[in-house]
Amino acid sequence: MHTDIGQAITFELKRDIANRYFGFRKLIEEDKLALADRVHQYTFILEKRISFELIRIYILLKDEALIEKFLDLAGLEKRMFYDPYLTESKTIRNRVFEGITFRGLTQKGSYKNALMDCYDRLVNHVQQYREKFAELTADQEMITEEIKLFYRQNDLNSILDFLRSLGNCDSALNTNMQGGLEPDIAMDIEKKLLIAPPSPIDQCLPVMPPMPPLTAIRKELKKIAKLAFSLHKEDIHSFTKTPKGRIIAD
């Protein structure tokens, strides 16, 4: 009788511990998956919005020395999303400028405004990206802190020692894990049960510094545009203004 009561109590204790641990683990894994989905989403935003705007600027400047000068002026990483092929491919040029409207009465004015508008949009995209990056970082840190708090409140080593003292620790854990642990690897139980925190966001997405607003670099950017126009005027003639004011590639 006493043995049956003891076994029942032992079973209930083991089940309560297992339910508490695996319930928490399930919630954390769901949070980690949701975070990973958002990281993937903002990877797409980075590649689509920011890279396209940079590629437009590279095509407009064409010259590698001017591109380097622009990146220095904007405080961006050297040759970010850059490949010399980008400035030569008409297919890429047509794609990235599709639907883009430029302002200006002359070709020179349209070209300068095109560069300014691209940069202004780029600044906005980078600012939005930085805000989302900060949100993702906060979520990653919150999940990491939740894991740390759980382990402070539920010392895994002490729990395992307690379960071993009750007997049949490995068998009980194996049942509750639904096939997770192998019962003959008792020394590896703690390692298998540890919940890994999500990777820091700066290991998943690049860190982008804040960019100076257009008003802060307009004068220098105009100089770059003027030089680029003078160097590549003939190539720039391949852009033709339509009656609606849109610049398209021939």
d(CA 117, CA 148): 47
Average pLDDT over residues 183-202: 68
What's residue 48's pLDDT? 83
B/e letters for 128-145, b = 16+ CB within 10 Å, e = fewer, are ebeebbeebeebbeebbe
Tokens describing residue 142: 């919150």
For residue 146, give the 3-state DSSP assignment: helix
pLDDT at 108 over 90: no
d(CA 56, CA 62): 10
d(CA 56, CA 87): 9
Average pLDDT over residues 239-246: 46
Q: Name the band, by pLDDT with cuts 50, 70 and 90, for residue 57.
A: very high
Q: Name the band, by pLDDT with cuts 50, 70 and 90, for residue 247.
A: very low
Cβ-based neighbour number of residue 183 at 10 Å: 14
Does residue 17 or residue 134 have the better pLDDT? 134
- Residues paired with residue 240 on neighbouring β-strands, in sequence order: 248
What's residue 4's pLDDT? 58
pTM tops 0.85: no
Q: Name the band, by pLDDT with cuts 50, 70 and 90, for residue 243.
A: very low
Cβ-based neighbour number of residue 180 at 10 Å: 12
Average pLDDT over residues 194-210: 88
For residue 142, give the 3-state DSSP assignment: helix
Contact predicate 192/181, CB 8 Å:
yes
Contact predicate 232/238, CB 8 Å:
no
What's residue 122's pLDDT? 95
Residues 59, 241, 103: CA angle, nearest 5 degrees: 75
pLDDT at 196 over 90: no
pLDDT at 138 over 90: yes
d(CA 193, CA 208): 36
Contact predicate 35/136, CB 8 Å:
yes
- Residues paired with residue 239 on neighbouring β-strands, in sequence order: 249
Q: Report in angstroms the alpha-carbon separations of 220 from 66, 106, 117, 208, 215.
A: 12, 21, 15, 22, 10
Q: Name the band, by pLDDT with cuts 50, 70 and 90, for residue 250.
A: very low
What's residue 231's pLDDT? 85
Q: Phi and psi for 240 in degrees, rounded to 5? A: -120, 135
Question: What's the chain's average pLDDT?
Answer: 77
What's residue 71's pLDDT? 94
